[in-house]
Amino acid sequence: NAGVTQTPKFQVLKTGQSMTLQCAQDMNHEYMSWYRQDPGMGLRLIHYSVGAGITDQGEVPNGYNVSRSTTEDFPLRLLSAAPSQTSVYFCASSLDIGGYNEQFFGPGTRLTVL
Amino acid sequence: AQRVTQPEKLLSVFKGAPVELKCNYSYSGSPELFWYVQYSRQRLQLLLRHISRESIKGFTADLNKGETSFHLKKPFAQEEDSAMYYCALRGPSNQFYFGTGTSLTVIP
């Protein structure tokens, strides 16, 4: 099992560019989520999904879109990157939404927007 | 509103000394709380969750609803405990709220 994989590991964008951060898991997990990690802010939830075809907004969804067409993949799209989106992005998955289920995290994507 | 507060950004203790990482939360419902850990160059991973009432790697955490706290404790710190620790709350709609983290350094 590869677990949760994220690509790319690093990315530099110019303001206004668009890109997609990829996240995939091979554990047949229903619940997937995206977080951003900023200095002094901890991890903040951007979007999450409780299953294929279902997505919902987290704490800081503005400027980001997601879709969940398959159980395995949960891409995060930045439509028009802004410097405020410079951050480290983590994808996570868990078997389902139950409290006993552990969230497994990806290695992160470090994004810089100039 | 849901909130998790970790008041200490940095914490240093000597090897063999007790360690306590503080976590306070704000939540109107019945809280589900977790501690996650990130060791150097590793992924964030679950350390323990309050509903399991377990001890992992010598760490324990007790939910105190009166003080709205979920402090992480270990009686004798080890060098391998040096890491970043995050307290997290699962709130409504299954959203997770993380604290800002505490970086623990265990001095040999």
pLDDT digits (tens, 9 = 90+) for A81-93: 999 999 999 999 9
Q: Are the beta carbons of A45 and B96 separated by less than 8 Å? A: yes
pLDDT digits (tens, 9 = 90+) for A32-55: 999 999 988 889 999 999 999 999
Chain B residues in contact with A31 by the CB 8 A cut-off are 94
B52-77 per-residue burial string, b: 16 or more CB within 10 A, e: under 16: eeeeeeebebebeeeeebbbbebeeb
Nearest to A106 among B4, B43, B49 (CB): B43
B8/A contact by beta carbon, under 8 A = no
Contacts of A58 (CB under 8 A, 6+ apart): A33, A34, A35, A44, A45, A46, A47, A48, B95
Instruction: Specify the pairing of strand B60-61 against strand B72-74.
Output: antiparallel
Q: Which of B62, B6, B63, B3 is nearest to B27 (CA)?
A: B3
| Residue of A4, A5, A34, A37 to mutate for B, most B C-beta atoms under 10 A | A37
pLDDT digits (tens, 9 = 90+) for B18-73: 999 999 999 988 888 999 999 998 999 999 988 777 888 999 998 898 999 999 99
Under the banding of pLDDT at 50, 70 and 90, the label for residue A101 is: confident
Instruction: Give the residue on A whose Cα is nearest the Cα of B1.
Output: A59
pLDDT digits (tens, 9 = 90+) for A63-83: 999 999 999 999 999 999 999
Percent of chain A with pLDDT over 90: 85
Average pLDDT, chain A: 93
Tell me: pLDDT of B94 over 80: no
Nearest to A45 among B4, B32, B95 (CB): B95
What is the structure's pLDDT at A95?
A: 84
For residue B54, the Cα-to-chain-centroid distance in whole angstroms is 13
Tell me: pLDDT of A100 over 70: no
Chain B residues in contact with A97 by the CB 8 A cut-off are 94
Residues B98 and B3: beta-carbon distance below 8 Å = no
What is the structure's pLDDT at A97?
A: 67
